[in-house]
Structure 1
């Protein structure tokens, strides 16, 4: 039990350990509301205790009228108005705002995330299931979905926004601290909803520019024959190897990522082999076919190739 309680203290997915401008404001709102609620509770409990154990002597009608006015009208009205003003001040006002420093397209699918970064020259740089951001930059996420309603949420950086089929919603976040955080889908979307997470890496600007430049390059790994022969290119793009696939995630720099299956498994050789053998056992509802019938040598060759895609 203590381990379970302490696990909630991890800052990777905690809105109370803010690492962004919006998350800081939301955390302040939480504490303001919590303290305000505690004050109200103390006042009510104090009044109730006084009414029960206080000296029982007649009170004048004037005292009763004042008690009802201040306790039942003035105090609730002023308190709720203060909480409302504090909350409304956090609503975003994008009228006339400047262009963001970075635009990222996010397409939610069951049960993973398709991402594309817009380069300075307008070229879209495709990746999947892992978000990289520069610290201090205002990032605009353009969110949509191909199937059902999902919700894009990085608790440590800010609030959530729904990804809705046929519609594009815009969410702006500004990370303020370097680190590794965890994003999730916050709208129930099917059997593997709980396995639709993604790591979020916040870098210094120079390190982010280096990462983005590397993502623009085609794959440099050798030994793609088994990958192509197994038909993997029908679903996955690996720039420089297979360009037609669009059903599954872009795998051009797959080995540079931290996880398999949108945060489901740590990226290791053993886990990748297990994923190829039984993806639906690991992640129910996933559309990835099983390659359990492939000879071990061919499956090993595919694993070797994928692990070279840095």
Structure 2
């Protein structure tokens, strides 16, 4: 029996995502490094407090024995050099695998940051894009995945706390972020670099499936849309010019500016995590997305009647 991960709004308990609760092998080293740095900070703070107490309250004889040029060389130069060098070597040994290039046969997903949403392309073995999704990354549990990070406008940054650290998405450059989820589930992510406008409302969810369920999902997503071309909402979609910005594979809609809507009805959220995805929220988003996520690049459609909004939202909700 197929077991799908629960919807994001049901499985993501709390926000922001827990940063010290690793769920895979690429987040675990960062967790160890964080606790190690915190322990070192506490140790250095203790040494400084003890030294200050001795300098202020110790008998003069003690201060004379513990002070002097020798202490400056040892505590002020040698100790920091040794400690910081050891931390640097340890940190590099823990993190050197987190951004390695994709390996042959490894699953690759291209994630492009745009104002203020995520374009997600799934690549085949030759590195060509097989199909697109938006604001969600689906992966098989237990397998490493190489995320190829890009940006089309300003600097964004993808941060999936339970699967890896943050990595910037810089226009004109492609960075690699490796992730792996040990167990099926939904893992919250966020743009972690201020990119203007509704930056704080630019979330993403990583959904890890059991391997067999992932293959089923992938085959379904790679197929074209299956909604009836005679659907009343399809006529509204075409008449409003939505296909100029959005693509629906299997139809005449081939826009590239906005998210691909081929299977929009199967997504967990709308507006990059702003709303749960259902027919009612779809109608509200289409009618006036600016009231929901001010500054996003989708215009409001006050010209659509209530019936037209119900029709077009029902059409899009059926695209699964």
Return the TM-score normalized by structure 1: 0.88
Q: CA–CA distance in 2 between the matches of 1:100 and 1:12?
A: 33
Comparing 95-104 and 43-52, the one that deviates more: 95-104
Q: CA–CA distance in 2 between the matches of 1:138 and 1:114?
A: 20
What is the deviation of 1:128?
0.9
Q: CA–CA distance in 2 between the matches of 1:180 and 1:111?
A: 21
Alignment partner for residue 99 of structure 1, among 85, 104, 107? Answer: 104
Corresponding residue of 2:165: 159
Corresponding residue of 1:258: 268
Q: Which sections of structure 2, spanning at least 5 residues, go unmatched?
A: 1-12
Corresponding residue of 2:259: 249
Q: CA–CA distance in 2 between the matches of 1:95 and 1:152?
A: 16
Comparing 148-157 and 170-179, the one that deviates more: 170-179
The within-5 A match list for 1:167-182 is 167-182=173-188
Corresponding residue of 2:138: 132
Corresponding residue of 1:55: 59
Which secondary structure state, in structure 2, belongs to the residue aligned with residue 43 of structure 1? helix
Which secondary structure state, in structure 2, belongs to the residue aligned with residue 22 of structure 1? coil
Question: For each residue in 1:237-291, what CA deviation from the matched residue of structure 2 results, as whole angstroms up to 9, or x when unmatched?
Answer: 1112234211110111111111111111111333222111111121122221222
Which secondary structure state, in structure 2, belongs to the residue aligned with residue 184 of structure 1? strand
What is the deviation of 1:191?
0.7
Corresponding residue of 2:122: 117
Question: For each residue in 1:168-227, what CA deviation from the matched residue of structure 2 results, as whole angstroms up to 9, or x when unmatched?
Answer: 222222332332111111221121111111111112211111111110111112212222
Q: CA–CA distance in 2 between the matches of 1:209 and 1:55?
A: 74
Q: How many residues align?
A: 302
Q: CA–CA distance in 1 between the matches of 2:295 and 2:185?
A: 31
The within-5 A match list for 1:1-310 is 10=14, 13-57=17-61, 64=68, 66-92=70-96, 98-99=103-104, 101-120=106-125, 124-222=130-228, 223=231, 224-310=234-320
Question: For each residue in 1:94-137, what CA deviation from the matched residue of structure 2 results, as whole angstroms up to 9, or x when unmatched?
Answer: 77973262111122211111111123575511111111111222
Q: CA–CA distance in 2 between the matches of 1:278 and 1:226?
A: 16
Q: CA–CA distance in 2 between the matches of 1:58 and 1:197?
A: 58
Q: 1:161 and 1:202, CA in 2 relative to 1: closer, same or farther beyond 3 A? A: same
Q: CA–CA distance in 1 between the matches of 2:102 and 2:241?
A: 47
Q: CA–CA distance in 2 between the matches of 1:95 and 1:140?
A: 8
Q: 1:203 and 1:62, CA in 2 relative to 1: closer, same or farther beyond 3 A? A: closer
Which secondary structure state, in structure 2, belongs to the residue aligned with residue 175 of structure 1? coil
Q: Which sections of structure 1, spanning at least 5 residues, go unmatched?
A: 1-8
Q: 1:295 and 1:243, CA in 2 relative to 1: closer, same or farther beyond 3 A? A: closer
Return the TM-score normalized by structure 2: 0.86
Comparing 165-174 and 297-306, the one that deviates more: 165-174
Comparing 116-125 and 162-171, the one that deviates more: 116-125
RMSD of aligned Cα (Å): 2.4
Which secondary structure state, in structure 1, belongs to the residue aligned with residue 121 of structure 2? strand
Corresponding residue of 2:9: none
